Amino acid sequence: MTNANLIENKAQVPKEFNKVSAMYDFATYLSQGYQEDLDNSASWLMLKGDERVLDVCCGTGKSTAACLKHITTGSIIGVDNSEGMLKEANKKFASEIEAGKVNFELQDAMHLDFEAESFDAIFMAYGLRNMPDYEKSLELLYKLLKPGGRLCIHDYSLANKGWAKAYWGVLSYGFIVPFCSILSRSTKIYTYLAKSVLTFLTPPEVEAKMKNAGFQNIQVKAHKSWRSPILHAFIGEK
C-alpha cells in the first residue's frame, strides 16, 4: 500500500504504528517540547481530579500521562487500535492499571464502544487527523461526553495555508521523515504524517466542525513552542 493509499485508507494507520511502537517514546522524547505541549493541552480540560476521562488514540500513553497529572480519585480509559502502541502503554502504566486508575482498550476510534454520556472529559491528541471522517468522529465524541463535559483536540493544524505549509514542509521532509525513518526503520508512517498534516483542516475549519457537532464555547489555542504555527488545541464544551 502506498502513502497515498494510507491517506485514503486511514483504518490501516494503526497497523503502521505497530511497526514504530517500540521506538515511539524515544522519537518523541527527542522532539523537544512534545510532552510539555501535551501537558498544556491536558491542563485546558480543567480537570478537578475525580473525573472519568477518555483518552482517544492514546498510543503509548504520553497523552494519558498528561491527563493523569490532574487525576486523583478519578480514572482514565485510553483507547487505540494499535496492539503495539498499547503494549508499550500497558508496560509503562502497570501500577496505575493495578490500582484501577488507568485502563487501556483496543478499539477503533470511529466505532467506540461506550455508553452515551459516560465521560466527563475527552482528550484526543494527534488523533482527529487520522480519522477517515472528521465530522462523524466529532459527533461520536460529543455523544460520549456528559452534559457540561469538555473535549480537547490537540493536533497539527496549519495556521495559514501559505508560510505555515512551507514551515511544515521543511520540518517534515527535511527532518522528521528522514530522522524518524532511520530511527524506527520504517518510513511509511512518517511520510503519511507529512502528507496528512498538509491535507488536514485549518484551525477555523476544526472550530467550525466542532460547532456543527454541537460543541459550545470553543477556544482555539496555539502552543508557545517551535510548533506554534502548526500545533493547536481546540477545547469545546457540551
Q: How far apart are CA 222 and CA 173, in angstroms?
A: 23
Comparison of 89 and 217: residue with beta carbon closer to ligand SAM: 89
User: To the nearest whole angstrom, how small is the minimum distance from the Cβ of residue 162 to ligand SAM?
Assistant: 25
Task: Indicate left, alpha or beta for 123 from its phi (over 0: left) and psi (-120 to 50: alpha).
Answer: beta
Neighbours of 106 (CB within 10 A): 12
**Which residue number, 13 or 47, has a Cβ lying nearer to ligand SAM?**
13
Helix or strand (DSSP H, E) at 207: helix 203-213
Question: Helices marked H in 31-176 — which ranges?
Answer: 34-43, 62-68, 83-92, 94-98, 134-144, 163-171
User: Which region, left, alpha or beta, applies to residue 78 given φ > 0 means left and ψ of -120 to 50 means alpha?
Assistant: beta
CA distances in angstroms from 170 to 2, 31, 164, 165, 223, listed in the order given: 22, 15, 10, 9, 19
Residue 68 CB, shortest distance to ligand SAM, in Å, is 13
Provide, rounded to whole angstroms, the least separation between the CB of residue 73 and ligand SAM: 24
| Residue nearer to ligand SAM on the CB measure, 113 or 162 | 113
Q: How far is the CB of 161 from ligand SAM (least distance, A)?
A: 23
- Residue at shortest CB range from ligand SAM: 59
Nearer to ligand SAM, 110 or 222 (CB): 110
Residue closer to ligand SAM by CB (options 63, 184) is 63
Least separation in angstroms between residue 52's CB and ligand SAM is: 18
Name the residues that contact ligand SAM, by CB under 6 A: 13-14, 17, 38, 57-59, 62-63, 80-82, 85, 108-110, 125-127, 130
